[in-house]
Amino acid sequence: MTDTARIAPLSRHLLAALVLAALPLGAAEPVDHEMVTRIRQEGLKRSQVMATLRGLTDGFGPRLTGSPAHAAAAAWAEEKLRAWGLERVRQEEIPFGEGWSFTHAEVRALAPFALPLRALPLAWTPGTAGPVRGAAMRAKLASEADFEALRGAVRGKVLVLEPNPEEARGPAPPKDPTEERPFRRHDEKSLADVEAFRIPGDGDGESWVERARKRWAFAEARNRFLAEEGVLATVEQSTRRHGILWVTGGGGGGWPGRSRGVPGLAMSEEHFGRIGRALDAGREVELEIDVAAAFHPERGPVGNVLAEIPGTDRRDEIVMAGAHLDSWHTGTGATDNGAGVAVVMEAARILKALGVKPRRTIRIALWAGEEQGLLGSRAYAAEHLASRPAPAEPEIAALPDFLWGETWPLAPKPAHAKHSVYFNLDHGSGRIRGVYAQENAAAAEIFRAWLAPFADLGATAVTMRATGSTDHVPFDAVGVPGFQFVQDGLEYMSRTWHTDLDTLEHASREDLMQAATVMASFLYHAAMRDEPFPRKPLPEAPPAAPGR
């Protein structure tokens, strides 16, 4: 290990030790150090985590929700979990529309220069049924007001789209090259920043769900406009530099009744820029596009994969860990989120290999549809944890439930009280450096004790901050403790997240081994506690806005 790879500075070790030593006698969370030693031995010396990740990514490639590869990967995971001895291995179906896949994409410039162009299709957009040719044309499609300027003038054209901030298709690249740090590990300063709590704003302004509803409505209007006007295809710029393609979804997103639009592609910044400059100079640009894509309306069930290590005296209580099995379609989903899947599966394998007899049942979940709106974990929460009424407004109730926002009253189900805690991993293949306590002070103290045996592996940080955007959120939102780990970023945000570079080559073996070992220890200790895992108060409806 090089000096730059060394983490968890000694000062953090000493601080953690001093904090634990200063606690009143009997107040510290108990830690089974003998079991931690056994978990470390199995997880760090006999690991199968990379074999699992290799089997998932090289065996099934991209796993877009509802695609044949997604269904095959779920069946493979079930078979593997059964072979390791887990029980009640099953799938719970979730609502979803049609699947989609592509097998070929080729884009060429024919004039004023001849060049193969780097571009890949947006998921759920149609193919071209063979090579098609058309003139490129710059276009702005940021709102429905832009339609009139294009109506009647775009038939047979390839629209080169100006960036639309409302679409938020990935983070913008840094303007200053000196700010680019493709590979990132936390150091003491950055971990201290993560641990520092930030008081949120007052919540004024448009909420994320209001913005999401507007994007949903506009996407449908734009797709119908493009199809009705006979647009040949659309091309948008990738938000990554250096030829990396950041590609997610388009069309109707697989949802029933939505317009599929026209073929849509994301193109590398360099090639997109050259086409744009030619158009700006008044030159005619002709493109040839050939995309082979297929929709899969007659697919098998889309479901969450669940498996268990049964508990003993408290077997009706559930301790969970999960990660999402689905991915986007241009890489093989190695870091988003094959890494999390492999870690969760490996944590379960470690505990089974050690013959652990947990007090509470340990359940693992490999979620479907995370990339389309946390669909799998939301469906699980609605089925097992708590229900919410449909919105009173008919136009909102007609939307998918992930666009409803929080409706009230929240009605906990019987299993709500039996779900003790949920742990999630979904920030790439970097090692665990700590955990977000989701503003749960009692949980933070427990986590500090559980992390102490892993300080030498860099896991030290406990932050009271809440983090979002992944599968712990539906648990936290209904009052069941749900947590995401703090991880080293590595190349996740700079290169692999939602890009064609999300492949096994960018996953870190040692980091995944460490993460699975920490995950296994957290699951074990949560399953063995004498007391229930501490909870925050049950969420309550916000006060009505003035005038309502």
| Residue 27 within a domain | no
Tell me: do 246 and 313 sit in the same domain.
no
- At residue 28, the pLDDT reads 86
| Residue 439 within a domain | yes
Tell me: do 325 and 292 sit in the same domain.
no
List beta partners, residue 422: 320, 482
- At residue 11, the pLDDT reads 52
Tell me: do 247 and 211 sit in the same domain.
yes
pLDDT tens digits in sequence order for the chain, 548 residues long: 433 333 343 455 444 544 444 444 446 899 999 999 999 999 999 999 999 999 999 999 999 999 999 999 999 999 999 999 999 999 999 999 999 999 999 999 999 999 999 999 999 999 999 999 999 999 999 999 999 999 999 999 999 999 876 554 555 555 555 456 788 999 999 999 999 999 887 766 788 899 999 999 999 999 999 999 999 999 999 999 999 999 999 999 999 899 999 999 999 999 999 999 999 999 999 999 999 999 998 877 899 999 999 999 999 999 999 999 999 999 999 999 999 999 999 999 999 999 999 999 999 999 999 999 999 999 999 999 999 999 999 999 999 999 999 999 999 999 999 999 999 999 999 999 999 999 999 999 999 999 999 999 999 999 999 999 999 999 999 999 999 999 999 999 999 999 999 999 999 999 999 999 999 999 999 999 999 999 999 999 988 755 54
Which CATH number covers residue 409? 3.40.630.10
| Residue 466 within a domain | yes
Nearest Cα residue to 321 out of 302, 335, 303, 307: 307
Contact 137, 335 (CB under 8 A): no
Tell me: do 235 and 274 sit in the same domain.
yes
- At residue 205, the pLDDT reads 74
Tell me: do 315 and 362 sit in the same domain.
yes
Number of structural domains, the chain? 2
Tell me: do 119 and 239 sit in the same domain.
yes
Using left for φ > 0, alpha for ψ between -120 and 50, and beta otherwise, residue 45 falls in alpha
User: Residue 220's domain spans which residues?
Assistant: 99-196+207-296
Q: What does the alpha-carbon distance between residue 529 and residue 522 come to, in Å, rounded to a whole number?
A: 11
Tell me: do 402 and 337 sit in the same domain.
yes
Tell me: do 72 and 103 sit in the same domain.
no
| Residue 17 within a domain | no
Tell me: do 458 and 497 sit in the same domain.
yes
Q: Are strands 314-324 and 286-296 parallel, antiparallel or unpaired?
A: unpaired
List beta partners, residue 115: 109
| Residue 542 within a domain | no
| Residue 201 within a domain | no
Give the pTM: 0.92
| Residue 539 within a domain | no
Q: What does the alpha-carbon distance between residue 253 and residue 397 come to, in Å, rounded to a whole number?
A: 19
Nearest Cα residue to 123 out of 224, 225, 231, 253: 253
Tell me: do 108 and 151 sit in the same domain.
yes
Which CATH number covers residue 241? 3.50.30.30
Q: What does the alpha-carbon distance between residue 11 and residue 424 come to, in Å, rounded to a whole number?
A: 28
Q: What does the alpha-carbon distance between residue 241 and residue 173 come to, in Å, rounded to a whole number?
A: 7
- At residue 181, the pLDDT reads 72
Tell me: do 128 and 244 sit in the same domain.
yes
Q: Which two tokens stand for residue 137?
A: 């044309």
